[in-house]
A and B are shown apart, each in its own frame.
Chain A
């Protein structure tokens, strides 16, 4: 991260919208520390460019060996941004979910089905995280829901700082449900709080029932597990009960809903979960609810 503005380093891009461009404002010099080459495209003024690397801080002073106690959390900065995001989202009655899964779990299909089913009833918005391309955001926008793509470049997860900037550009409506689709990865996103209300893990039954104990951190961090592609059960050798048992070994409080985005099975339960938890968030936001009632 850049020590001047706190921006994350790397090839992160948030598209489109906000004219937030950090690069020219930096008086200090950024250097590369990685073996891989990084190409930064600067043609598009609407892209977010994060510093190319940590600033070189030179501290003149005594050249005398000494011990320094630091005692700081390595993710302290991320957690600080996450707290700011959470305060902002809570303040606006926005119910934010961080969707995490392996690549290929059917996360985007599940999300597009959800958006299509709920868009007439509830204001919705999506932050779409991928390493490259805006294909998923394009799929989301095809449903008519406002979406912003964040490309993490070489990064394997979204962090709270990227989400903060994405929120600046996306400006979700008060009282909306914000879906943050994380990079497909069952390991790294577990450690990074984005300021969401809940992490929702999506696991498809084509993946193997022991995933919850193979990747325990993610299932420990999640509050809800969507067991997806349940329509394929007759064709697979997947033990649903065993999978749920494993998941609850890691996280006894984990809620589980079995769904199929393709056949629609179980989806109503998931929508019900969304409606109930969003309503819960809206307590104290009476004006938003009445505005919605007027619209309906």
Chain B
């Protein structure tokens, strides 16, 4: 359940941004959580509701986009799509893969007022 900590970090970042960019309420918030980030999106939504209570995120609509997993295959010398960390290269079957995308956890964009 590190989703709770993640949501608290989101709130903290948004609050800092609120001071810097002068807004008091968030209407919409977009997070980017890659499929390899080890985050349960449903848990994230649940924790977000709890953390958002009585904050400037209280009424914010949460939008989570989930970029797919990407890895560099050493054998094929190209970027390939992977669904999980334990899957082989879909082209050559090698496990010599370096994850290059889909493990990000970022706050992308806000609609504020």
| A contacts, CB < 8 Å to B | 1, 3, 9, 31, 33-35, 54-78, 154-157, 159, 187-188, 190-192, 212-213, 216-217, 220, 246, 248-250, 252
Contact = CB atoms under 8 A, between A and B. Distances in A.
Greatest chain B CB density within 10 A among A31, A35, A66, A154 is at A66
Given A56-B55, A57-B15, A217-B38, A252 B99 contact: no
B113 A66 contact: yes
Nearest to A74: B105
Given A187-B2, A188-B1, A57 B9 contact: no
A216 B13 contact: no
A33 B95 contact: no
Nearest to A212: B86
A189 to B, nearest CB: 8
Interface residues of B, number: 52
A31 B51 CA distance: 11
Contacts of B53: 33
Contact of B86 (A63, A78, A213): A213
Q: Taking chain B's interface residues, is the majority helix, strand, or loop, or is none over half, making it mixed?
A: mixed
A74 B86 contact: no
A148 to B, nearest CB: 21
Given A56-B15, A220-B99, 14 more contacts: A1-B12, A33-B11, A33-B52, A54-B55, A59-B24, A68-B111, A68-B112, A70-B110, A72-B106, A77-B12, A188-B1, A191-B37, A212-B86, A217-B36
A72 B107 contact: yes
Contacts of B18: 57, 59
B10 interface: yes
Greatest chain B CB density within 10 A among A56, A68, A69, A159 is at A68
A60 B24 CA distance: 7
Given A66-B111, A72-B106, A249-B95, A57 B19 contact: yes
Nearest to B112: A68
Greatest chain B CB density within 10 A among A70, A76, A191, A213 is at A70
B41 interface: no
Contacts of A76: 9, 13
A74 B38 contact: no
Greatest chain B CB density within 10 A among A59, A71, A217, A220 is at A59
Interface of B: 1-2, 4-6, 8-19, 21-25, 27, 31, 36-38, 50-56, 84-86, 88, 95-97, 99, 104-113
Contacts of B38: 187, 190-191, 217
A191 B104 CA distance: 11
Contacts of B88: 249
Contact of A250 (B12, B19, B21, B86): B86
A77 B24 contact: no
A71 B96 contact: no
A17 to B, nearest CB: 25
A55 B18 CA distance: 12
Contacts of A249: 86, 88, 95
Contacts of A252: 95-97
Contacts of A216: 84-86
Contacts of B2: 156-157, 187-188, 191-192
A69 B50 contact: no
Contacts of B56: 57
A9 B9 CA distance: 10
Contacts of B107: 70-72, 74
Given A58-B24, A252-B96, A73 B105 contact: yes
Contact of B54 (A31, A67, A154): A31
B69 to A, nearest CB: 11
Q: What 6 A-B pairs are tightest by C-beta distance, nearest first? A: A61-B22, A188-B2, A216-B85, A217-B38, A213-B86, A57-B15
